[in-house]
Amino acid sequence: MQIIDGKKVSAEIIEQIKIETEDLKQSSGKTPGLAVVLVGEDPASAVYVRNKGRACERAGFSSFEHRLPGDTPETDLLALVKKLNEDSEVNGILVQLPLPEGMDSQKVLEAIDPAKDVDGFHPVNVGGLASGISDLAPCTPAGIMELLDHYQIPIEGQDVVVLGRSNIVGKPAALLLLKRNATVTICHSRTKNLKDITARADILVSAIGRAGSVTADMVKEGATVIDVGINRGVDGKLTGDVDFEAVSPKTSYITPVPGGVGPMTIALLMKNTLTAFRKQNGL
Ligand code: NDP
């Protein structure tokens, strides 16, 4: 069994991006820029936004942080997005979710210029992903693909089971794996005989959001297990969806929580920002 070290892979990716960014700055005189918009006081979101700013620094990007109060009218948020769409120093725009109640997240996401949609949530990019032509895929699923590739885990022809069908993780993860010729099964809360399905998986991706959802009897001997879940226990400790202690001895590869998929999400956000920057500047 090998533990997949997302922290290390993420740091390597950001280091590589920094080198590329330095070269691009030299040749073009321009710097990639990411704008992050946070509405309200959600503490978890505030931590994510701070981490994104720090990652920008490490990558050599400009970072623009916009903090708006929780009672900001939706029209003001839409006006800010429009301004950022038009700002040539901003190559990527990320509106931190969830937005406060009463705001229409979909409307806000659709207001972002698809070329600057580094989260990959705009319908244009979602459609591109479904057609296999998008280069701005959602960061968490794209991070999963980077981890599999880094550890040279075969994907083509493998039986892959994805637990969860959200637009942020499950569905795009399934599409990326399908593009790489895996045989993909998507499971959700209404799936029957879950154990029979997961027990066939060469690669099992869990994005449910409930601790203890994946037990040892659900996992095939030698499988790769990717745990996307982030769950906070009563003791405040973070755990994934997978019963790590019982499951890990059966696996070939497994991601821990924390330190597995989590750090990859930010690395892929940097990668998407660099991709958007290159495209917008014809580099
Ligand atoms: P959602 O709540 O949007 O989706 C959860 C999915 O799990 C749903 O599709 C749901 O099915 C499915 N589900 C619920 N119960 C079961 C079950 N018993 N068996 C099979 N499927 C089930 O969550 P997200 O996709 O946004 O996030 C999933 C987890 O990943 C969360 O813990 C979240 O915190 C974490 N996360 C981690 C990230 C990272 O960077 N590491 C980034 C994003 C999320 P149904 O559709 O039928 O309701």
Of ligand 1's listed atoms, the one at least distance from the Cα of 264 is 40
Task: List pLDDT tens digits, range 210-225.
Answer: 999 999 999 999 999 9
pLDDT of residue 243: 98
| Model confidence pLDDT, tens digit, residues 190-206 | 999 999 999 999 999 99
Provide the β-strand partners of residue 65. 36
| Structural domains for the chain | 29-113 (3.40.50.10860), 139-262 (3.40.50.720)
Question: pLDDT (tens digit, 9 = 90+) per residue, 264-275?
Answer: 999 999 999 999
- List CB contacts of 166: < 8 A, sequence separation 6 or more: 207
Nearest CA to ligand 1 atom 48: 189
d(CA 44, CA 195): 32
Mutate to test the pocket of ligand 1, among 147, 175, 189 (most ligand atoms within 8 A of CB): 189
Q: Which pLDDT score is estimated for 113?
A: 98
Ligand 1 centroid to residue 50 C-alpha, Å: 24
Q: How far apart are CA 173 and CA 217, in angstroms?
A: 24
Atom of ligand 1 nearest to the CA of 265: 40
pTM: 0.97
Cα 6 to Cα 53: distance, rounded to the nearest angstrom: 19
Dihedral (Cα; 102, 107, 111, 113), 10-degree rounding? 120
pLDDT score at 206: 98
Mean pLDDT of the chain: 97
Whole-number pLDDT of residue 95: 97
Q: Which tokens belong to 146?
A: 């980077």
Which of 135, 155, 170 is CA-nearest to residue 268? 135
User: Which residues are part of the catalytic machinery?
Assistant: 52, 96, 119
Q: List phi, psi (to 5°) of 276.
A: -65, -40
Residue 123: helix, strand or coil by DSSP? helix
What is the pLDDT averaged over residues 140-150? Answer: 98
Ligand 1 residue neighbourhood (C-beta within 6 Å): 140, 163-166, 168-170, 187-191, 194, 207-209, 213, 228-231, 261-262, 265
**Distance between Cα 20 and ligand 1 center (Å):** 34
